[in-house]
Amino acid sequence: MLHLKLSACFKPTVQKRKHPMNTYKKLGFCLLLLLVALFCLAPLMWQLLISLKPASQITRLPPLLPQTITGKHYVSIFTQHPFAGIILNSIIVAGCTTALSMLFGTTAAFALAKLKLKAKIVILGFILSISMIPPIATVSPLYLVIRAIGLRDSVWALILTYTTFSLPLCIWVLTNFFKAIPDELYLAARVDGCTPFQAFYKIMLPLAAPGVFATAILVFIFCWNEFLFALTFTTTTASRTIPVGIALFPGLHEMPWGDIAAASVVVIMPLVILILVFQRRIVAGLTAGAIKG
């Protein structure tokens, strides 16, 4: 009997053989991910290679890799161009716009999601319709308004304009996040004596934090990359932002491809760092509400 028990304990386990087809599927999937990653990173890598090449090697394509590496273009964008001030303008415009959009967008979304308001569908439809207006159709009237109130060639002209165009996105997205939060939590906070605003910033806003972070990142990227309004409403480097500053790098008889590539690499880095720092919040915000618990 003891012999049977010991033999059962030391009985070799039979391992299941992996089907070759499953291994091929995994390899194919990994290869597909690699190709997609290379496709997405190719423009950035190309700009990086161009920024490290001397000016004499940029005009001809082969060889692809630089024969000699130089950092002159990175020095040039800060010494021959007011690039530091342009970056500061973009940080101010994008940061203030994101803060204002989140301030007004979260409160409006909470009201549309949890408070008893009439014609909620009509309001949301009106907000969505505003976001469908192409920016090129509003540049001329907005320019006249900006000039009339004395905000032309100032960062506030861009902040107010960007806030107006980013609010529909914020309200529409955040309304769905607040709707996903159970109404019982809001009602319980009201029963405990909270005012609607106290229930908003003490209970509902922390629960909707992933969605708020994801929306804030989208608004910041929109402001960081916007070109049309920045080109129209600014005329000097005192308020000029990054896209317009890079577009004005070319001179009358030259095209400084190395400086443009170096500037592109520099301005992409803050966005990459921002996304890497808040990647968990972004993923949580993008996937929130996908599965109902």
Decide if 128 is inside a domain: yes
Cα–Cα distance list, 105 to 68, 99, 199, 248 (Å):
50, 10, 16, 34
> For the chain, what is the domain count?
1
What is the full per-residue pLDDT of the chain (293 aa) written as tens digits?
444 444 545 455 545 555 666 787 888 888 999 999 899 888 888 888 888 888 777 766 656 777 788 888 899 889 888 889 999 999 999 999 999 999 999 999 998 888 887 888 888 888 888 888 888 889 999 999 999 999 898 999 999 999 999 998 899 888 888 888 888 888 888 888 888 888 888 888 888 888 888 889 889 999 999 999 999 999 888 889 999 999 888 866 678 888 888 999 999 888 888 888 777 766 666 665 454 44
CA distance 59 to 52: 13
Decide if 27 is inside a domain: no
Query: Which residues lie closer than 8 Å to 220 by C-beta, 6 or more apart?
Result: 94, 95, 97, 98, 274
CA 220, distance to chain mean position in Å, is 6
Long-range contacts of 56-65 (CB under 8 A, 24+ apart): 58/257, 58/258
Q: What is the CATH number of the domain that holds 173?
A: 1.10.3720.10
CA distance 49 to 63: 11
* pLDDT for residue 13: 52
Supply the DSSP string of 48-84, one letter for each residue.
HHHHHS-HHHHSS--SSS-SS---HHHHHHHHTS-HH
Assess contact for 236 and 153: CB atoms under 8 A: yes
Decide if 89 is inside a domain: yes
Decide if 18 is inside a domain: no
Decide if 20 is inside a domain: no
* pLDDT for residue 292: 46
Q: Please report, for the chain, how many H helices and E strands are present, in that order.
A: 16, 0
> Which domain range does residue 90 map to?
82-287
Decide if 16 is inside a domain: no
Decide if 9 is inside a domain: no
CA distance 251 to 267: 21
* pLDDT for residue 233: 92
Phi, psi (rounded to 5 degrees) for 205 = -65, -45
Decide if 207 is inside a domain: yes
* pLDDT for residue 7: 52
* pLDDT for residue 16: 53
